[in-house]
C-alpha cells in the first residue's frame, strides 16, 4: 500500500490580538501607537519565518542526519512511487540530477520537492518489477543551510518482493597513466543476458567514486555481469569513445559465492579509430590531404613503385599532408596513404589525386615556402658521449651530400663518420638522425655548410654550426633501485612533471639512470606482456585490457650531484 505523503508543511503563525481598537477607550497617542503596531506585526513575523543562518555562536560542523524514510530502510513488498527523506535540521538540495543514483535503472523520470528538513521524490511509475531490490542514494545532494555540511549515508534500500539482495562489490578506480584516483568515475554493471550496451544504453547497476576513487556498489542481484569504469565528461552514463577514459573487466563477472567482492580498475583512453581523410584538394602546384586527426607518421606509396612523390606532414598542423609533384605528372594518379595517429592506429587508404598544371604566369606568382632547419639538441645544449643529433627540415629534402657534414672533437679534431651507417632519414626525408659515440674531453661541434641539403623546391638550407659541451656529472643526479616483480618483461620509466619519459630501462630488475636534471620525478613500471618495448593500450572491441602501469606511490626529488639509491618499486 502506497503511503499518504503530506507535501504541505505549514510555515506561518497566526496572531490573535488581546483586544480590538473599537473596544479600547484610548487616548489619541495610544490609538496611533496601536495602529502602527498592527501595521508592523505582519512584517515582523514574515521576517521571523525566513530561513537563514544564525549569527554568532560556534561554527556548525554537524551534517544533517536522516531520521525518517518512507518506505523504511530495508522494507519488503514496497510497490509505490514516492520516497520521502526527513532530516534532523533544515536542508538545501544541490545538484540532485547529478548526485541522485537509483539502481537498478528504473528507466523513468521523477519530480522532487524540498520542504524545510525533507525531500520528496515522486517517480512517474511505481517500483513494480517483481522481486527486485532497489537502492536510492542521494550522495552529496543534501547539505545543511548554515555551513553546507554534506549528509552522509542519505540512502534507502527496499525490495518489491519478500527478500533483499545483499551482494556487493567495492574497490578503487585509478587513472592508468598517472596512477591517481579518479573522482566521480561511473562504475557500472550490465547483465550478460541483456542487449544493453555501454555505448548506447544506461547501465543496470551503477555508482560513482568519491575523492579517493573508492566505490561501493551494494544490494546486487546474483547474476553474471559485464563491468566497466568510466571517467565520463557528459554525465549521461554512456561511453563516448572519442573523449572518455574507460576501464573494464576482460571476463564476465560472476557475483554469487561471496557477499562482497573487491575489484580495482584502471581507466585510460581507448582510441581504436584509424585516421580518415576528411578532405583533399589542389593548392597551387601542391596536393593537400586533410586527415580527421593529427598524425605522428605518414607514408605515400604509388602503384608504380619505381616512382616517388615527395611529401611532408605539416609540423604546425599535423593532420595535413602536402604532396609535391616530383614526377611531373598531370594525369590522375593512384596512391596509398599510410597514416598513423598517436594511439598507434594505422590506416592504409587508396586515393586518386591529380596535380594542377600551372602556366608561366601562375608559376611566377607561386609562393615558395621557406626552407627552414632546426636541430636537437640546440646550440650550446650539453650532450652525452653517446651523441644523437637530429636535423629537421620544413620541406622534403631531395638532394644531399652527407660527406660535407663534419663532427669535431673539442671544436678542433675531426671525428670520422661512417656514411651512410651513422645516419638515418625518416620516410618523408624531413628528418635526419645522426648517432655516434664520441671520445672527447670537453665538447663536440656539428657543422653542415650551405648546399649540403636541397629541398624539393631546389633551394638550399642555410649552414648549420652548433657547439655542445659534454655533460658534467656534478651538475646532474643519479638514481638506482630494484624492481620486485615476478613478471618477465617490463619497462622501468622515470617521468618528469610534464609527463615526459626522461629515462627508461627494459627487463632489468636492478636499474640505474644517470645524468638526470634536478627536479621532481615519478617512477613507474610498464608490464610489457608481449615484450615489444612499448606500452600497448586496451582494445574495447576485443575486450582486451591495457598493459598495466604501476607507480611508486611517492614522488622522487632529485638535486644536482645527488645519488639516490634504493628507489625500489614492488609489484603485486
**DSSP-assigned letter for residue 222:** S
pLDDT in tens, 484-503: 999 999 999 999 999 999 99
pLDDT in tens, 143-182: 999 889 999 999 999 999 999 999 999 999 999 999 999 9
Grid cell locating 286: 601542391
Grid cell locating 84: 520521502
**For range 248-254, the mean pLDDT:** 94
Per-domain residue ranges for the chain?
A: 167-269, 277-361, 373-471, 474-570
Specify the higher pLDDT residue, 10 or 161.
Answer: 161
pLDDT score recorded for residue 417: 97
What is the phi/psi pair of residue 259, to 5°?
-75, -25
Report the mean per-residue pLDDT for the chain. Answer: 88
CATH number, domain 373-471, options 2.60.40.1220, 1.20.1260.10, 3.40.50.970, 2.60.40.10:
2.60.40.1220
CATH number, domain 167-269, options 2.60.40.1120, 2.60.40.10, 3.90.79.10, 3.40.50.300:
2.60.40.1120
**For range 306-329, the mean pLDDT:** 94
CA distance 178 to 187: 19
| 443: pLDDT strictly greater than 50 | yes
In percent, how much of the chain has pLDDT > 70? 89
**For range 92-97, the mean pLDDT:** 94
CA distance 410 to 420: 24
48-52, 321-325, 356-360, 410-414 — most confident range: 321-325
pLDDT in tens, 402-424: 999 999 999 889 999 999 999 99
Specify the higher pLDDT residue, 20 or 388.
Answer: 388
pLDDT score recorded for residue 55: 53
pLDDT score recorded for residue 56: 54
pLDDT score recorded for residue 210: 94
Instruction: Please tell us whether the domain made up of 474-570 is placed in CATH 3.30.70.260.
Output: no
Q: Tell which residue, 268, 317, 324, has the closest CA to residue 294.
A: 317
Q: How many other C-beta atoms can be found within 10 angstroms of the C-beta atom of residue 8?
A: 7
Q: Give the max Cα distance, the chain.
A: 124
What b/e readout covers 384-414, taking b as 16+ CB neighbours within 10 angstroms?
eeebebebebbbbbbebebeebebbbeeeee
277-361 — its CATH code? 2.60.40
**For range 357-379, the mean pLDDT:** 87
pLDDT score recorded for residue 57: 59
User: Is 474-570 the same fold as 277-361?
Assistant: yes
Q: How many other C-beta atoms can be found within 10 angstroms of the C-beta atom of residue 311?
A: 24
| 446: pLDDT strictly greater than 50 | yes
What b/e readout covers 222-248, taking b as 16+ CB neighbours within 10 angstroms?
ebebbbbbbbbeeeebbbebeebbbbb
Amino acid at each position: 500500500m502506497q503511503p499518504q505523503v503530506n507535501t504541505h508543511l505549514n510555515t506561518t503563525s497566526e496572531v490573535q490580538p488581546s483586544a480590538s481598537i473599537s473596544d479600547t477607550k484610548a487616548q489619541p497617542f495610544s490609538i496611533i501607537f496601536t495602529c502602527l503596531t498592527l501595521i508592523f506585526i505582519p512584517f515582523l513575523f514574515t521576517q521571523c519565518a525566513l530561513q537563514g543562518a544564525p549569527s554568532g555562536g560556534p561554527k556548525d560542523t554537524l551534517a544533517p542526519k536522516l531520521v525518517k524514510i518512507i518506505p523504511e530502510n530495508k522494507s519488503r513488498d514496497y510497490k509505490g512511487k514516492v520516497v520521502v527523506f526527513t532530516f534532523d535540521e533544515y536542508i538545501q538540495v544541490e545538484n540532485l540530477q547529478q548526485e541522485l543514483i537509483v539502481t537498478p535503472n528504473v528507466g523513468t523520470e521523477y519530480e522532487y520537492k524540498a520542504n524545510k528538513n525533507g525531500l520528496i521524490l515522486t517517480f512517474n511509475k511505481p517500483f513494480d518489477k517483481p522481486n527486485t531490490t532497489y537502492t536510492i542514494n542521494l550522495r552529496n545532494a543534501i547539505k545543511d543551510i548554515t555551513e553546507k555540511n554534506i549528509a552522509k549515508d542519505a540512502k534507502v534500500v527496499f525490495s518489491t518482493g519478500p527478500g533483499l539482495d545483499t551482494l556487493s562489490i567495492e574497490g578503487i578506480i585509478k587513472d592508468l597513466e598517472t596512477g591517481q584516483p579518479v573522482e566521480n568515475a561511473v562504475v557500472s554493471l550490465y547483465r550478460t543476458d541483456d542487449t544493453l550496451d555501454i555505448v548506447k544504453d544506461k547501465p543496470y547497476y551503477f555508482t560513482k567514486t568519491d575523492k579517493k576513487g573508492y566505490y561501493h556498489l551494494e544490494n546486487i542481484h546474483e547474476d553474471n555481469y559485464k563491468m566497466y569504469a568510466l571517467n565520463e565528461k557528459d554525465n549521461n552514463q554512456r561511453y563516448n569513445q572519442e573523449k572518455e577514459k574507460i576501464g573494464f573487466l576482460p571476463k564476465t563477472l560472476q557475483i554469487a559465492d561471496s557477499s562482497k567482492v573487491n575489484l580495482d580498475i584502471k581507466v585510460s583512453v581507448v582510441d581504436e579509430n584509424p585516421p580518415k581523410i576528411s578532405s583533399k584538394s589542389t593548392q597551387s602546384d601542391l596536393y593537400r590531404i586533410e586527415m580527421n586527426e593529427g598524425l605522428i607518421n605518414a607514408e605515400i606509396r604509388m602503384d608504380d613503385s619505381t616512382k616517388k612523390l615527395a611529401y611532408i606532414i605539416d609540423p604546425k598542423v599535423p593532420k595535413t599532408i602536402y604532396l609535391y609533384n616530383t614526377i611531373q605528372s598531370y594525369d590522375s594518379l593512384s596512391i596509398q596513404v599510410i597514416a598513423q595517429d598517436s594511439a598507434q592506429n594505422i590506416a592504409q587508404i587508396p586515393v586518386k589525386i591529380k596535380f594542377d598544371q600551372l602556366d608561366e604566369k601562375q608559376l611566377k606568382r607561386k609562393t615558395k615556402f621557406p626552407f627552414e632547419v632546426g636541430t636537437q639538441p640546440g646550440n650550446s645544449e650539453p650532450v652525452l658521449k653517446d651523441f644523437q643529433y637530429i636535423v629537421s627540415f620544413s620541406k622534403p629534402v631531395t638532394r644531399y651530400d652527407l660527406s660535407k657534414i663534419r663532427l669535431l672533437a673539442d671544436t678542433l679534431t675531426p671525428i670520422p663518420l661512417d656514411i651512410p651507417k651513422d645516419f638515418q632519414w625518416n620516410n618523408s626525408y624531413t628528418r635526419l638522425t645522426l648517432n655516434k659515440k664520441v671520445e672527447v674531453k670537453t665538447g663536440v661541434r656539428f657543422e653542415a655548410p650551405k648546399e649540403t641539403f636541397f629541398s624539393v623546391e631546389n633551394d638550399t638550407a642555410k649552414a648549420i654550426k652548433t657547439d655542445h659541451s659534454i655533460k658534467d656529472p656534478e651538475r646532474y643526479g643519479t638514481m638506482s633501485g630494484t624492481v620486485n616483480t615476478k613478471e618477465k618483461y617490463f619497462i622501468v620509466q622515470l617521468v618528469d612533471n610534464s609527463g615526459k619519459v626522461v629515462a627508461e630501462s627494459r627487463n632489468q630488475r636492478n636499474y640505474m639512470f644517470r645524468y638526470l636534471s634536478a627536479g621532481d620525478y615519478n617512477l613507474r613500471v610498464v608490464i610489457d606482456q608481449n615484450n615489444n618495448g612499448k606500452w600497448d593500450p586496451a582494445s574495447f572491441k576485443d575486450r582486451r585490457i591495457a598493459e598495466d602501469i604501476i607507480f611508486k606511490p611517492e614522488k622522487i626529488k632529485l638535486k644536482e650531484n645527488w645519488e639516490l639509491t634504493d628507489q625500489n618499486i614492488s609489484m603485486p
